[in-house]
């Protein structure tokens, strides 16, 4: 087996995996902290991708700048969605099931809004560097992959530092670990939940833009992205940011190695076989559940 092919496949796989990890951290966070499985998470990511597409097409704004710009916008939208839809179900008997059903409906609404605004045609995010590559020896680093990878590292690090170093972040962790004790110490659980949800949706926007740099997208693409979200979150451990990032890396490595060593038709089988193995032997994922 050619070493160049193996390493090249690994490079591409890792970059792809990290972009899924960026999309996955927010999904993991809402699942871990709020017990909300946000099926519409990938649809919010797709909304970010479409916003970046429109900004690039009409104003020439680079997708990275669009990611920074769309984050506060999605944050505000998500606060509204939380107040309107998520908060009312937080007292449900089974929040997980209620949230899945509710956000499934939300995903369908978002998809139809995207069809209305952007039509059903597939789109491709093509900044000036879309088909360029950094060449290092025999290896090619496609610029869109590099930008997506950089965006992921930045986004995941920012979320990690926010949770570890800021007061609000610590409150989010406290709410996840000991909700009653956190409340006794003055933590407003609703406010923390709203911030967590909005933060998660903001990162989804950035993750969606990262994925749009790699793949073409259509209003229904979020369904496929959602499958990968479950993959990274279940492998990494629900609510574990570092675990989600590592899961992205691992999935990237496995995909890359599969593409180098196995017939291509086996790649998805191996990747999703991994999900089944994790569900059977380590249902809590690589790491214990911890924000």
Q: What residues line the site for other proteins (CB under 8 A)?
A: 2, 4-5, 8-9, 11-13, 16, 111-112, 115, 119-124, 126, 130-133, 140, 142-144, 214-216, 218-220, 224, 255-256, 259-260, 263-265, 267-269, 271
Min dist. Cβ of residue 139 to other proteins (A): 9
Which CB sits closer to other proteins, 32 or 256?
Answer: 256
Q: Which residues pair with 141 in a beta bridge?
A: 134
Min dist. Cβ of residue 155 to other proteins (A): 21
Closest by alpha carbon to 46, among 174, 204, 176?
Answer: 204
Specify the DSSP class assigned to residue 188: -
Min dist. Cβ of residue 215 to other proteins (A): 6
Which CB sits closer to other proteins, 44 or 53?
Answer: 53
Which CB sits closer to other proteins, 9 or 202?
Answer: 9
Which CB sits closer to other proteins, 8 or 28?
Answer: 8
Which CB sits closer to other proteins, 82 or 118?
Answer: 118
Closest by alpha carbon to 182, among 171, 190, 192, 191?
Answer: 171
Pair of tokens at residue 166: 């800021």
Min dist. Cβ of residue 131 to other proteins (A): 4
Min dist. Cβ of residue 207 to other proteins (A): 16
**Rounded to the nearest 10 degrees, how much is the dihedral formed by the CA atoms of 240, 228, 71, 286?**
10
Burial pattern 55-92, b for ≥16 Cβ within 10 A else e, equals bbeeeebebbebbbbbbeebbebbeebbeebbeebbee
Cα 37 to chain center, whole Å? Answer: 13
């Amino acid at each position: 087996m050619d070493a160049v092919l193996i390493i090249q496949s690994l490079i591409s796989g890792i970059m792809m995996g990290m972009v899924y990890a960026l999309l996955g951290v927010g999904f993991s966070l809402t699942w871990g902290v709020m017990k909300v499985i946000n099926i519409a998470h990938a649809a919010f990511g797709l909304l970010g991708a479409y916003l970046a597409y429109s900004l690039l097409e009409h104003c020439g704004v680079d997708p990275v700048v669009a990611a920074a710009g769309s984050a506060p916008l999605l944050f505000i939208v998500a606060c509204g969605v939380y107040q309107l839809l998520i908060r009312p179900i937080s007292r449900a008997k089974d929040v997980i099931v209620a949230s899945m059903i509710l956000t499934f409906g939300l995903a369908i609404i978002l998809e139809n809004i995207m069809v209305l605004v952007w039509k059903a045609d597939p789109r491709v995010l093509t900044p000036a560097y879309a088909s360029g590559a950094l060449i290092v020896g025999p290896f090619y680093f496609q610029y869109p992959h590099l930008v997506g990878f950089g965006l992921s590292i930045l986004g995941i690090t920012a979320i990690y530092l926010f949770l570890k170093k800021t007061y609000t972040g610590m409150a989010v962790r406290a709410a996840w670990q000991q909700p009653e004790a956190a409340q006794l110490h003055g933590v407003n659980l609703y406010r923390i939940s709203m911030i967590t949800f909005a933060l998660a949706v903001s990162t989804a926007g950035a993750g969606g833009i990262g994925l749009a740099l790699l793949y073409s997208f259509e209003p229904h693409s979020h369904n496929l992205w959602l499958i990968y979200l479950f993959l990274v979150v279940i492998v990494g451990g629900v609510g574990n940011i570092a675990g989600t990032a590592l899961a992205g890396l691992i999935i990237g490595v496995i995909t890359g190695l599969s593409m180098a060593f196995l017939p291509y038709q086996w790649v998805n089988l191996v990747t999703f076989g991994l999900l089944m193995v994790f569900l059977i032997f380590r249902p809590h994922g690589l790491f214990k559940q911890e924000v």
